[in-house]
Structure 1
Amino acid sequence: MLHKGAILTIVLVSYFMILLDNSVIFTALPNLQADLGLSSTELAWVQDAYTLVFGGLLLLGARAGDILGRKPVFIFGLVVFSLASLLIALAPAAWWIIAARAVQGVGAAIVAPSALSLITATFEGEERSRAVAWYSATAGIGASLGLVVGGAAATWFSWRAGFFINVPIGVAMLMLAPRFLPRSVALPGRFDVIGAVASTLGVGSLVFAILSASESGWAAPQTIAGFVTAAIILTVFVIAESRASQPIMPLRLFASRIRTGAYLTRLLYLGAMIGFFFFTSQYLQEALGFTPLQAGLAFLPMTLVNFVVAMGIPWLVRRFGDPPILIVGAVLTLAGMIWLSRITEDGDYLTAVALPMLLLGAGQGFAFAPMTTFGLAGATAQDAGAASGVVNTFHQMGSSLGLGILVAAAAAATPGTTGTAAIITAQASAALTTASLFLAAALVVVLALIAPAALLRPSRTAESASTAVAEKAS
């Protein structure tokens, strides 16, 4: 007998733990940097090591659940994630925390796809709709609460406390999972290990080259070596995917202008938003004098607007269609980012940060659902799982690559600047200005690739995407 309530609780709490850890780091960044004596590049790698491995192994993690069984794979992912969280909390130096964050990314890449698979396998019909709604709500709550939890932990205890929290949560879920999670039938198939490793190493080399350029210059030997290595490995990845019998990223998914546009839009959009969280949190604390807890609470206006707008998206899409909603979301996010990029050392939180955040929150609320829909548009039942995985992969890769570029832009903006507040303000302004360019490029992609094709067949786009996902889930 299935205990559906227990299954949903285990899945949602575990997924919440992953999301919490993805954002808990932001409000703790200044304390973490001071405690471990990290450079700006090392601080960026604390986040990038996690998102790179998470995104690079996400498709492989989903495949592992199908081939080896969701229950044992989910439990193994929880073990890895919980142990990595403990290692992060105990980190004595930069190399330790960066390595532990990479291991944590491995655990997240296993748990996240298995969590959604367990939901779709356990629930049907209206029950599945409610379970997926809870899953989506957990995503929003986890990301937002992570900022507050990270700030509270850093203010009252230490940045380490935000990671220690995962240990008892993980242990509790590991005690419940073997008893309540259902077993699934293992399916025949092959692991595309070459594709997973090549994609992770290729993008990792590219991020390394960009971060190296910010410290050593674009002509430095290690910078050039990084770009050359990235080009070679990514070429190997494309060739491997074109020849693999069961590729981790089927290249045929990019035959659609709509899907390709959605992937590129997500890459650019997330590249901008990761910089927003990374630099705004530091600006609030080091320029405006906020405590970590106050910085976490400072993001709540954006979160609330995001939630309210997202709740109305189903009705708005039925009324106007996905293309206009995505365009509005991209425009609002761009306007908010441009406004926020005008921050000054003695700026006022209400007018310089809070009000632009309202536009950013509304923009996110409008943009994310259509971006996801278009990323699945026209996918067959056979490719629906892969298409969903590619959406998440571009999400994580956009975060890693975008942060690398924005850190480089920030470093280039502060030669000769003195004083911590002046430096972080100049860096944040430069990074957010560059993020605005990302969003402008995302808007161009939407207008050039997605909107023209989608407006020609709006009903078919939405219908084919939802049908493929439903068939895959069944």
Structure 2
Amino acid sequence: MTLTPVREHVAGPFVGPVARPRSQVRGRFAVLRLIACGVVIAIMADSTATTLAIPVLSRDPIAASLPMAEVTWVSTINFAAVAALLATAGRFADLLGRRSVLAFGLALYGLGAAAVIATTSWPLLLGGRLAQGVGAALMFPASLGLLLGELPANRRAGAVALWSASSGIGCLALQAGGGLLVAEYGWRGLFLPSAGLAAALLMLTPALPRSLGQVRRVPDVFGTVLLVGAIAAAVLAVSQGGTWGWTDLRTIGCALAAALLLAGAIATSWRHAAGAIDIRLWRRPGFLWSGGASLLYGAASFVVLALGPLYLKNSGFDPVTIGLWLTPISLAMIGGSPLAMLAGRRIGLNAVIYAGALLLGGGCALLLANPYPTVWTLVAALMLGFGFGALSTGTSTVGTMAAHPTQYASAVGAINTARMLGGAIGVAGASALVDQPVLDGPMPGFASAMVGCLIAAVVVGTVALARVAGTPRRRTPRLSRREAEAELIMLRRLLAELRDSFVQVRDEAEEELARFGARDLSAHRTPERL
């Protein structure tokens, strides 16, 4: 028999829930995946577009009179906004509703991209890049959090793998078509794909399931301001320290401000029920490890992607050829993410992280052994791409699966904040090593930076291997046939008792509703099934 559920706080005649056809469920999941992956593609395409646009933008009339250090603020202001707001945006998405935060982020991101494309002045360009950064920070954790919250538990790891692979698609698309866009539309054309994609995704958001917030109280606004200020100050200190000078008062001031603001954010979040930092999340088993591994992975991956074009340019390649040499990294990352998910089901996620660190370290070692591009450089690029796919999928899955379903967007925001902070630290350290290398030989700065990436890979791999070795192997005892039959009989009895209890509750509820003058509910009963 089917039980008729009773809805609370609903006036009028009772209507039982109608089961969704399987095609509708599949269609809803398809839209969720499309939007979550589309958000990552748009953000990564925009990041690649910025890297390609800066050399061309420096010759544009709106920036021709500016030194290169100021032109790079097109990237810095966007990066700082994303890094500063990711954790807070994820927390707010969980508290206020993921679909609403996603829609607002897409709208703001699209408006920022439109301002960048149509700008005629330098301040408006920076304002558009800032708006894009804020929008990206809002939609990034909300999109994956919404997807994970709707999918059944056994399909969440696959969703994270697909989401991780999408970052490679975004990079690949701009690497392949960026030259054509610049030739046809100038540097502004590089931002057209992300603007159009954001507009298309925004039109799809009404089809998403509504995600209600988890609390009715006002979030910790003061703690949020402190946290955003702390991360922004840290990013500025790290990213601009090489330009300002590491002993410059601006660098020291930003570093001190970041430490003080972060301490204040932690203190307020500890007391506030809806704090800017979800303290419970960081206490969950495996989440701190995921954040630390993401920090080191971000440091290594950002350095490789930032110095790769410089390495190839110093070898005499033109921009088109440089893009072709870097394409294997994106292709391998696209293929490596789903492979990592499949491997994780068999050997565990910590083993996947170890394999990713091994591939990353091997790729760095090959680049160190071949200071000039050869066929081994392509092998190194493939190893790096597969390593990035494994590490991205492994660290993201460990972090999100450690979180409670009500904390998915917060987990995504926190993990990716750690990744971006690691990237800022890594790029700043690599810049210092390029200026003052610790090794000799051809391309000493590049080689010194690769040694740093190799050390990061060794640290992640060592900890992952220790966690694999420390994980006890659980063997489920095999039941005899008689024991299995006894358990089956007991399960049937329990289910029968549970069914009878619900039938009794339903009958009593219908009698009570009849006493209060509710409509006859017999029309909504379904025939009993034995």
TM-score normalized with structure 2 length: 0.71
Shift in Å at residue 360 of structure 1? 0.9
**Contact 2:367–2:380, Cα closer than 8 Å, also in 1:** yes
Amino acid at match of 1:17: A
Residue type of the alignment partner of 2:137: A
Q: Which amino acid in the other structure matches residue 13 of structure 1?
A: G
Q: How does 1:74-473 map to 2 (within 5 A)?
A: 74-91=102-119, 96-120=124-148, 124=152, 134-178=162-206, 180-187=207-214, 188-255=216-283, 258-285=286-313, 287-291=315-319, 293-340=320-367, 347-348=372-373, 350-351=375-376, 353-376=377-400, 378-381=402-405, 383=407, 385-412=409-436, 430=445, 433-434=448-449, 436-448=451-463, 450-457=464-471
Query: What SS does the aligned partner of 2:276 have?
Result: coil
C-alpha separation in 2, matches of 1:214 and 1:336: 27
Superposition deviation, residue 393 in structure 1: 1.9
C-alpha contact 2:433 2:449 (8 A) present in aligned 1:
yes
Change (3 A) 1:313 1:289: closer
The whole-number CA distance in structure 2 between the counterparts of 1:6 and 1:362 is: 27
Per the TM alignment, residue 81 of structure 1 is displaced from its structure 2 partner at its CA by 0.3
Q: Cα distance, 1:139 vs. partner?
A: 3.4
Counterpart CA distance in 2 for 1:24 and 1:113 is 21
The AA in structure 1 aligned to 2:451 is S
Q: 1:132 to 1:359 in 2, by over 3 A?
A: closer
Matches of 1:357 and 1:333 in 2, distance apart?
A: 9
The Cα shift of 1:261 comes to 3.0
Q: Is 123-132 or 229-238 further displaced after alignment? A: 123-132
Greater Cα offset, 105-114 or 353-362: 353-362
Aligned equivalents of 1:226, 1:154: Cα separation in 2:
36
Paired with 2:35 and 2:401, the residues of 1 have a C-alpha distance of: 31
- 8 Å CA contact 1:332, 1:359 repeated in 2: yes
* Partner Cα separation in structure 2 for residue 454 and residue 385 of structure 1: 27
User: Does the 8 Å CA contact 2:294/2:416 hold for their aligned counterparts?
Assistant: no
In terms of Rg, which structure is larger? 2
Counterpart residue identity of residue 296, structure 1: G
Shift of 1:379: 4.2
* Contact 1:273–1:435 (8 Å) recurs in 2: no
Question: Which letter maps to 1:392?
Answer: N
| Residue aligning to 1:469 | none
Q: Is the 8 A contact 1:21 1:163 kept in 2?
A: yes
Residues in 2 aligned to 1:299 and 1:72: alpha-carbon distance in whole angstroms? 37
Deviation at 1:364, TM superposition (A): 1.8
Taking structure 1 as reference, are residues 167 and 330 closer, same or farther at Cα in structure 2, changes over 3 Å only?
closer
CA–CA distance in 2 between the matches of 1:198 and 1:287? Answer: 45
Does the 8 A contact of 1:56 with 1:197 survive in 2?
no
Counterpart of 1:355 in structure 2: which amino acid? V
Whether the 8 Å contact between 2:88 and 2:413 is mirrored in structure 1 is no
What is the distance in 2 between the residues matched to 1:302 and 1:186?
39
Aligned pairs, how many? 442
Between the aligned partners of 1:111 and 1:164, the Cα distance in structure 2 is 18
- Deviation, structure 1 residue 454: 4.6
* Partner Cα distance (2:407, 2:170) in 1: 29
Give the corresponding residue for 1:420. none
Measured against aligned partners, the alpha-carbon deviations of 1:435-462 in whole angstroms (never above 9, x if no partner) come to 53244135325524x44345323668xx
Partner SS, residue 274 of structure 2? coil
Kindly report the root-mean-square deviation, in angstroms, between the aligned alpha carbons of the 2 structures: 3.6
The corresponding residue for 2:75 is: 47
**CA pair 125-277 structure 1, distance change in 2 beyond 3 A:** closer
Secondary structure of the residue aligned to 1:25 is helix
Distance between the aligned counterparts of 2:323 and 2:341, measured in 1? 29
1:374 aligned partner, one-letter code: V
Decide whether aligned partners of structure 1 residues 337 and 65 sit closer, same or farther in structure 2, where only a CA change above 3 A counts.
same
User: What is the alpha-carbon distance in structure 2 between the residues aligned to residue 11 and residue 383 of structure 1?
Assistant: 17
Q: Deviations over 1:300-319 (max 9, x none)?
A: 22233333443332443344
Give the equivalent residue in structure 2 for 1:468.
none
Cα gap change, 1:76 to 1:387, in 2 (>3 Å): closer
The answer to whether the aligner puts 1:17 opposite 2:3 as a matched pair is no
Please state how far the C-alpha of 1:349 moved relative to its aligned partner: 5.5
Alpha carbons of structure 1 residues 400 and 459: separation in structure 2 relative to 1, 3 Å: farther
In structure 2, C-alpha distance between the alignment counterparts of 1:131 and 1:309, rounded to whole Å: 14
Question: Which residue of the partner structure matches residue 512 of structure 2?
Answer: none
Q: What is the CA distance between 1:115 and its match in structure 2? A: 2.1
Kindly provide the CA deviation profile for residues 237-269 of structure 1, in whole angstroms up to 9, marking residues without a partner as x: 332333332233334544568432331221122
Change beyond 3 A, Cα 1:401–1:300: same
Unaligned segments of structure 2, at least 5 residues? 1-19, 475-530
Structure 1 CA distance, aligned partners of 2:409 and 2:357? 26
Q: Which amino acid aligns with 1:303?
A: S
**CA offset at residue 388 of structure 1?**
3.5
Contact 1:259–1:375 (Cα < 8 Å) also in 2: yes
CA contact (8 A) 1:26 1:277 kept: no
- Measured at CA, do residues 213 and 431 of structure 1 come closer, stay the same or move farther in structure 2, by a change above 3 Å? farther
> Quick check: 1:24–1:149 contact (8 Å CA) kept in 2?
no
Cα distance in structure 2, aligned partners of 1:125 and 1:253: 18
Gaps of 5+ in 1: 415-424, 461-474
Tell me how far 1:333 sits from its aligned partner.
0.9
Q: Secondary structure at the match of 2:110?
A: helix
Q: Distance in 1 between matches of 2:404 and 2:98?
A: 23
Distance 1:213 1:130 in 2: 39
**CA gap 1:453/1:169 in 2 versus in 1, 3 angstroms:** closer
Q: Give the secondary-structure state (helix, strand or coil) at the position aligned to 1:406.
A: helix
Q: For the residues of structure 1 that align with 2:88 and 2:166, how far apart are their CA atoms?
A: 23
Amino acid of the residue matched to residue 142 of structure 1?
G
TM-superposed CA distance for 1:134, in Å, is 4.9
